Structure formats: structure tokens, C-alpha cells
């Protein structure tokens, strides 16, 4: 079968294309923005990519068109699909119908940390010899690819996004997946372009909870009021809590301030017959939020029969997914780090983790507020404080940002500046950087290739 995918370079749709190719389908696709790492792995898989949207991309006529949620009415290819009567489906529905049936699905949901936690779960299952399948909204470096089928009888790990499914299906993507194990890591307001308030997102999370069978498991973070409200709407599945609360069956205790070493405690049973098992994790990641993500992954892997001690040892070999605290290069002792953080909470957590692990030099934050939520100005009053753990902040104004960044710069608790030209931003960073500094670039897009441009400019200035 020939599948043509609209929006193929999105993290979800690109991963879907890899699964379709692995199933033996002929796959092509188009997108308005084609850039690595997704474009690279698609081309390596033999998938034809077309830049831009055009009716000509639909010739020869595909057997099925899979339409991503970034596409809407008025798009040239969408209109051609409808006018020509071509069969079409959403990405989540195609996944649910062609990949997930018969699999034990583990869905990882939450406002933050989905990609990292899903990657962790997949790695722990892989380390235990289970050969899981997975679809992750990023590229886990332990696998080098964002999706695979895995063994037919192995669990399937899916990053469960609350964003809407398609222009013709406004439910959240994750309602299609019907998981047996659902990880709910956190929940706060985001996606201001489709949700009016936090209550609307909580309702979608409740729809996910309603799909988990009674024989399954809900792994739910403690100290998350929004998730408590979701469960209060009704839950028909055993709920297992994880976090720092003394009463949570899965708990984490930091043994180093930067969270590079921590203890996991798992309480099995209740009352006088309760038994604790524990294990120590010593790994290359930092940040309390990463330790919490690992805790959730350990609980999910344990639910699939993976021994806690074995899983904890495997974390020492875990590599962060691409664009999650990824070191892109180092010049004269100056590190350039790439991170996907694009929400005030994620920005603050990323900087706090890096701050705890920075023994010498300064931490310079470079931020492009380009997500739909940021473009609309939602949460902008929290942006200034989000960089408190940096030594300086550089804000870049992307196209389409229609509110002033000046107020964020003025309210910054650390020295800050705004740049509107990418070359000027690179020049300012090169002039500011000193040996042992860490420059962390945060954006949910390609950011004009700033990482390579910055490394090249640093090489000229300091190499």
C-alpha cells in the first residue's frame, strides 16, 4: 500500500512514517519545513520527502493519505484530498488500527517530560531483553531512531500527546491508544491555541483515564493537583502513585544535589505486611525532574516484569533523547547545549538541573518563545522568572510573536537582552562567552540552525 503523509516531518508523523515503512508500505510525504533530525532518519529509511504542499505531491494517487494535526482546511493538499475523494485518516487512528492491536500499550502522558520518560521506559524494556516497540516524539539516542515495531509480542511504548488529533477529529491524540499502562507525569496549562483553560485539558486527560482497562495500571505523579482533579472525575483502574510523598509506593530520594545519584524505594503491599525494595541509580543525567521521570519509567518497567535492580543499573547507560540537554559541541571549554524546553516550567526545570551540575563557569540561557502558547502570549508573565537559575538570558523574537518581549527582559532577575536578528544573537553570544561557560539553547523548533552557527563562530573567535 502507498501511504502519503501530510506533515511528515513533525515528530509524531515522522515516527509514524517509519513504522509504516517497517510494515512494508511505500511511504511518501510532504511538509512545509524539512530539517534534521527527523528529515535525516526519514531519508535514510527510503521515504520520499517533498518540500511544501502542492496537489502535484498526490500523484501518483496514493492508496491512503494520513493527515497530521498541523494541517487545516485551505491547505492545497488537504483540499485536493477532499475534492478528489481520496481516503484519509489521522495519524493516531492509523497507529491504533495498524500497529497497536494485540500489543500491551504503555502510554506516557503529561505536560512535560513525555519524550524523556517514554525513552526511558523503552530503554529499560530493551535492557531487560523484551525488544519493545515504540513511537516517541524525539530521537532516543540509545536507539538512534524515533520509532520501531519491536517484537510482535513485546510491549509498545507511545508518547501520549494531549494535542488535538486532526482538523476533522478534535479529540486529544491519546484517546486513540487504549493503553494498559498509562503514566501521568504532570499537568498544567499549555496549548493555548486549542484549549481555553486547564479544566479543558483535565477533561481530555479524564477521557484517557476512561480508556485504561480495570486489569491495567495508572501510574500517577504525586503533588499534582490537576491530576488529582482528573482522577476525581472517575477512575476504574488501580492507581499507583510515584514521587516524593512518604505515602507513595514509588519514591525517589536524591543522594546528590544535582540528582545524578538517587535512591528509588518501592513499597510492595500495605500495612504490616508491606515490604520495601530499593535500588540506587548513578547516571549521567542531572535535574530532579529527570530523576522523577526515571522513577516513573522504573515503575512502568516493573509493571512489565522488569527487576528493579536490573533496571536501575541500566539507567547508567541511558542517553538523553536528541534535543534534551544534548551537548552539541564544545569550543575552548565553552559548551553549546540543545534543549526542547519551550514552556516556563520546562525552562526553569532545565536551567535548575544544569545549574546544579555546573561547577565552574556561567550558565547562559538562549530562548526562542516560538510555541503556539508562547506566540499567543499565554504564560508570558512567568517567563522572566523562569531564567532565575541562569547567569544571563538572551531572548530571540521569532516571526509571528505579536507581543513585546521588552517586559520580560525588564523583569528578568538576571541580566537579559532581546535580539531580533540571528546573526546579531550569535555575535552577542560569542562576545559574551568565556571558557567553562555553558550556553543552553531552548526552542521547540530548528531555531535557524543556531547551534552549528554558534559553534562555527566560537571556533573562529576562540579556536
Q: 269 by DSSP, 3-state: which? A: coil
Q: Is residue 232 part of a domain?
A: yes
Domain boundary among 90, 121, 156: 90
Average pLDDT estimate for 119-144: 93
Cell 513533525 belongs to which residue?
A: 10
C-alpha 249: how far from chain center: 26
Q: Is residue 95 part of a domain?
A: no
Q: Would you state the pLDDT for residue 268?
A: 82
- 420 and 343 together in one domain: yes
- Kindly tell me the number of DSSP H helices and DSSP E strands found in the chain: 15, 23
Question: Is 173 flagged in the annotation as binding?
Answer: no
Average pLDDT estimate for 340-361: 80
Q: Is residue 25 part of a domain?
A: yes
Q: Does the pLDDT at position 321 exceed 70?
A: no
- 38 and 146 together in one domain: no
- 233 and 154 together in one domain: yes
Q: 179 by DSSP, 3-state: which? A: coil
- 67 and 121 together in one domain: no
Domain boundary among 282, 298, 317: 317
- 178 and 232 together in one domain: yes
Question: Is 286 flagged in the annotation as binding?
Answer: no
Question: Is 350 flagged in the annotation as binding?
Answer: no
What is the percentage of the chain residues whose pLDDT exceeds 70?
97
- 28 and 148 together in one domain: no
At residue 10 the predicted structure's pLDDT band, cuts being 50, 70 and 90, is confident
Average pLDDT estimate for 10-34: 92
Q: 408 by DSSP, 3-state: which? A: helix
Q: Is residue 241 part of a domain?
A: yes
Q: Does the pLDDT at position 207 exceed 70?
A: yes
Tell me, what CATH number does 194's domain have?
3.40.1190.10
Q: Would you state the pLDDT for residue 34?
A: 72
Cα torsion for 210, 212, 218, 223, to the nearest 10°?
-20
Q: Does the pLDDT at position 327 exceed 70?
A: yes
Question: Is 320 flagged in the annotation as binding?
Answer: no
- 74 and 123 together in one domain: no
Cell 520518560 belongs to which residue?
A: 117
Q: Is residue 223 part of a domain?
A: yes
Tell me, what CATH number does 434's domain have?
3.90.190.20
Q: Would you state the pLDDT for residue 274?
A: 66
The H-or-E segment that residue 202 falls in is: helix 198-211
Share in percent of the chain as helix, strand, coil (round to 5):
35, 25, 40
| pTM of the predicted structure, to 2 decimals | 0.83
Question: Is 111 flagged in the annotation as binding?
Answer: yes
Residue 447 exposed, middle or buried by CB count within 10 Å (0-12, 13-18, 19+)? buried
Paired residues of 399 in beta bridges:
none
Q: How far is CA 343 from CA 322, 371, 377, 380, in A?
A: 18, 8, 11, 9
Q: Does the pLDDT at position 240 exceed 70?
A: yes
Q: Which residues contact 11 (CB under 8 A, 6 or more apart)?
A: 38, 137, 138, 146
Q: Which residues contact 347 (CB under 8 A, 6 or more apart)?
A: 341, 365, 367, 383, 386, 387, 442
Q: Would you state the pLDDT for residue 319?
A: 85
Average pLDDT estimate for 224-231: 96
Average pLDDT estimate for 172-190: 94
Q: Does the pLDDT at position 128 exceed 90?
A: yes
- 176 and 139 together in one domain: yes
Average pLDDT estimate for 66-81: 96
* Model confidence pLDDT, tens digit, residues 388-412: 989 999 999 888 788 788 888 888 8
- 265 and 151 together in one domain: yes
Mean pLDDT across the chain = 90
Q: Is residue 144 part of a domain?
A: yes
- 351 and 448 together in one domain: yes
Domain boundary among 69, 90, 111: 90
Start-to-end C-alpha separation, the chain:
52
Considering only residues 322 and 453, tell me which one the structure prediction assigns the higher pLDDT: 453
Q: Does the pLDDT at position 306 exceed 70?
A: yes
Q: Would you state the pLDDT for residue 300?
A: 97
- The number of domains in the chain is 3
Q: Is residue 249 part of a domain?
A: yes
Least confident of 132-146, 169-183, 269-283: 269-283
> How far is 151 from 156, CA to CA, in rounded Å?
9
421 grid coordinates: 536578528
- 234 and 374 together in one domain: no
Report DSSP state, residue 99: T
Q: Which residues contact 152 (CB under 8 A, 6 or more apart)?
A: 102
Tell me, what CATH number does 44's domain have?
3.40.50.720
> How far is 412 from 410, CA to CA, in rounded Å?
6
> What does the DSSP assignment read for 304-372?
TT--HHHHHHHGGG--PPTTSSEEEEEETTEEEEEE---SHHHHHHHHHHHHHT--SS-EEEEE---SH
Considering only residues 212 and 399, tell me which one the structure prediction assigns the higher pLDDT: 212
- 56 and 138 together in one domain: no
Domain that holds residue 417: 326-462
What is the percentage of the chain residues whose pLDDT exceeds 90?
58
Q: Would you state the pLDDT for residue 35?
A: 67
Q: Would you state the pLDDT for residue 344?
A: 83
170 grid coordinates: 478534535
* Model confidence pLDDT, tens digit, residues 242-264: 999 989 999 999 999 888 999 99
Amino acid at each position: 500500500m502507498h501511504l502519503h503523509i501530510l506533515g511528515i516531518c513533525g515528530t509524531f508523523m515522522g515516527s509514524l512514517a517509519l513504522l509504516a515503512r517497517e510494515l512494508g508500505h511505500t511511504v511518501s510525504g510532504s511538509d512545509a519545513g524539512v530539517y534534521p533530525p527527523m528529515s535525516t532518519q526519514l531519508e535514510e529509511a527510503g521515504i520520499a520527502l517533498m518540500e511544501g504542499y502542492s496537489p502535484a505531491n498526490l500523484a501518483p494517487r496514493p492508496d491512503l493519505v494520513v493527515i497530521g494535526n498541523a494541517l487545516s482546511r485551505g491547505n492545497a493538499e488537504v483540499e485536493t484530498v477532499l475534492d478528489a475523494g481520496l481516503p484519509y485518516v489521522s495519524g493516531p487512528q492509523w497507529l491504533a488500527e495498524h500497529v497497536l492491536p494485540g500489543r500491551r500499550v504503555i502510554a506516557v502522558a503529561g505536560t512535560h517530560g513525555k519524550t524523556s520518560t517514554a525513552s526511558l521506559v523503552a530503554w529499560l524494556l530493551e535492557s531487560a531483553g523484551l525488544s519493545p516497540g515504540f513511537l516517541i516524539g524525539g530521537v532516543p539516542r540509545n536507539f538512534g531512531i524515533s520509532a520501531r515495531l519491536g517484537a510482535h509480542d513485546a510491549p509498545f511504548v507511545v508518547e501520549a500527546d494531549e494535542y488535538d488529533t486532526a482538523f476533522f477529529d478534535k479529540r486529544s491524540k491519546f484517546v486513540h491508544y487504549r493503553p494498559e499502562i498509562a503514566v501521568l507525569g504532570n499537568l498544567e496549562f499549555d496549548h493555548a491555541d486549542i484549549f481555553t483553560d486547564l479544566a479543558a485539558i483535565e477533561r481530555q486527560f479524564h477521557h484517557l483515564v476512561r480508556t485504561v482497562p480495570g486489569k491495567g495500571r495508572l501510574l500517577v505523579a504525586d503533588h499534582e493537583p490537576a491530576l488529582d482533579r482528573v482522577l476525581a472525575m472517575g477512575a476504574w483502574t488501580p492507581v499507583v502513585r510515584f514521587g516524593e510523598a512518604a505515602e507513595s509506593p514509588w519514591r525517589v530520594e536524591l543522594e546528590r544535589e544535582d540528582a545524578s545519584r538517587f535512591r528509588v524505594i518501592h513499597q510492595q503491599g500495605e500495612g504490616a505486611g508491606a515490604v520495601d525494595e530499593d535500588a540506587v541509580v548513578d547516571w549521567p543525567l542531572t535535574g530532579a525532574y529527570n530523576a522523577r521521570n526515571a522513577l516513573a519509567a522504573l515503575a512502568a518497567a516493573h509493571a512489565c516484569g522488569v527487576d528493579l535492580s536490573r533496571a536501575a543499573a541500566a539507567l547508567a547507560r541511558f542517553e538523553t533523547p536528541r534535543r534534551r540537554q544534548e551537548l552539541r559541541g564544545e569550543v575552548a571549554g565553552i559548551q553549546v547545549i540543545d534543549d526542547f524546553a519551550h514552556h516556563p516550567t520546562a525552562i526553569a526545570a532545565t536551567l535548575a538541573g544544569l545549574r546544579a551540575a555546573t561547577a565552574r563557569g556561567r550558565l547562559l540561557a538562549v530562548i526562542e518563545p516560538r510555541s503556539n502558547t508562547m506566540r499567543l502570549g499565554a504564560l508570558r508573565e512567568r517567563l522572566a522568572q523562569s531564567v532565575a537559575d541562569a547567569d544571563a538570558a538572551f531572548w530571540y523574537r521569532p516571526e509571528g510573536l505579536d507581543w513585546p518581549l521588552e517586559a520580560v527582559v525588564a523583569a528578568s532577575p538576571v541580566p537579559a537582552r532581546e535580539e531580533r536578528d540571528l546573526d546579531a544573537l550569535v555575535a552577542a553570544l560569542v562576545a559574551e562567552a568565556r571558557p567553562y561557560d555553558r550556553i543552553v539553547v531552548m526552542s521547540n523548533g530548528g531555531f535557524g540552525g543556531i547551534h552549528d552557527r554558534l559553534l562555527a563562530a566560537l571556533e573562529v573567535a576562540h579556536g
